[in-house]
Amino acid sequence: MIVTRLPPALAGLAMLAVASLPGTARALEPGTVDPHLPGVTEGIPVAALPPPGVYFSNDLAYIDASFQDGSAKPLATPAGGINVVAWVNVPLLLWSSPWHILGAQYGAFIAQPLVNLQVHSFISGNNFRTGFYNTIINPALLSWRVAPNLFIGANMPIYFRDGSWSENAAINIANHTWTVGPSAAVSYLDGNFMATANLEFDVQTENKDFAPGLRYHSGDIMTVDYTVQQSFGRWTAGIVGFWIYQVEDDKLNGSTTPANFAGLGNSAGNRFEAFSIGPLVGYNFGPVAINFRYTRDVYAKNGPQGDIFWFRFALPF
C-alpha cells in the first residue's frame, strides 16, 4: 500500500475543506443566504491538514439558479418566478500548526467572503447588491491520521453577525445571525487516488429583526460534500457533488413557517433539500495548484436549483 504525501500546493487546498461559503438564497430565512455553500469542500482531502505552515487560497464561484417550490417543481406564478445569479469570492488564510491535540494535528483559519448578488423576482423585481458576507473564523481544525492512507477530521467554523444586512433590503448578502457549523470529515488517499466526504451541520441563532413584530429562526441544516478523483501526473480528474438536507423546520415567531409563505410555494416548515453532481479537472503547477469544477443540481425542493461553476487556487507562503 502506498502512503500518500501531498505536495505543499495541493495540500494547501485542504484549507478550503473547512471554509463555508455563502450561498444563494436557500430555504431558510427568506431574503438571506445559506451559511454553507454546498460543494465548497469538493476536490480536496477534507480531513487532512497540509504540512505545518501558512497558506493562502482563493475560491471563486458563479451561481445561476431558479427557485423550486415545495413539490420540487419550478416556482411559477402569473408574474413569473425567482432567478438568482451570484458571484462569490473568498480569500482565506490558514495556519497549519506543528502542534497536536488529542493526537490530532491542529490548525485555524480566517476568511472574509465578498458577494455580488442579483435576484430577479416576481415579488420585488430586479435587485442587485454587492457586499461582505459574515466573517468566518475557525479556531479549531483537527486532523487525525488513523491509518497510513486514512484521515479523520473535525472542525468548528463560526460565522460572525457582521455582514451586509439591513431589515428593509429587498435582498441581503449576509445573515443577521450567528452560526456555528460543527463538521466531521473522512479522507482516503492511496497513491494518485482520493475519496473524501465532509459533513457540516449548521445551527443559526434567531433573527429577531426579521420584520416589524416578526422573528425568524432558520432550521438546522446538514450538507455532505463528496469527491472521488484520480491524478495522472500533474492532471487530476474526478466526480464531485453534494447532498443537502434541512433537518428542522423554519420557525416564524416560534411557530412552524406556513406553506406558501410570502407566495414562495414552499411546503410547511420550508425545509430545503438538494442533490448535485458534476465533473472536476485540476492541475498542479508545483507552487500553485488550481481546480475547476462544475456541478448541476439534479434535484431541489424549497429552494434554488441550478448550476455552479468553480475556480480555486492555493499556494503556501
Mean pLDDT of 291-315: 94
Q: Are 306 and 63 in contact (CB under 8 A)?
A: yes
Worst-scoring range by mean pLDDT, 50-54, 230-234, 264-268, 281-285?
264-268
Residue 157: CB atoms within 10 A of its CB come to 24
Residue 212: CB atoms within 10 A of its CB come to 6
> Cβ neighbours of residue 5 under 8 Å, at least 6 residues apart?
none
Cα separation, 39 vs 312, in Å, equals 12
Maximum Cα–Cα distance across the chain: 62
Query: pLDDT at position 262, please?
Result: 75
> What is the band of 11 on the pLDDT scale with cuts at 50, 70, 90?
very low
Cα separation, 244 vs 246, in Å, equals 7
Cα Rg, the chain, nearest whole Å: 19
- pLDDT-above-90 percentage for the chain: 64
Statement: residue 37 has pLDDT above 80: no
Cell 448578502, located at residue: 173
Q: Are 310 and 293 in contact (CB under 8 A)?
A: yes
Q: Are 136 and 156 in contact (CB under 8 A)?
A: no
Helix runs in the chain, H state only: 8-12
Is the Cα torsion angle 93, 98, 102, 103 positive or negative in sign? positive
Cα separation, 104 vs 51, in Å, equals 13
**DSSP secondary-structure letter at 50?**
P
Sketch out the chain's domains with CATH numbers: 8-316 (2.40.160.40)
Statement: residue 292 has pLDDT above 80: yes
Statement: residue 3 has pLDDT above 70: no
- For the question of whether the overall pTM of this predicted structure is more than 0.85, the answer is yes
Query: pLDDT at position 221, please?
Result: 94
Which strands make up the sheet holding 207-211, listed edge to edge?
A: 207-211, 214-217, 251-252, 255-256
> What is the band of 1 on the pLDDT scale with cuts at 50, 70, 90?
very low
pLDDT, one tens digit per residue, over 63-117 is 999 999 888 888 887 777 889 999 999 899 999 999 999 999 999 999 999 999 9
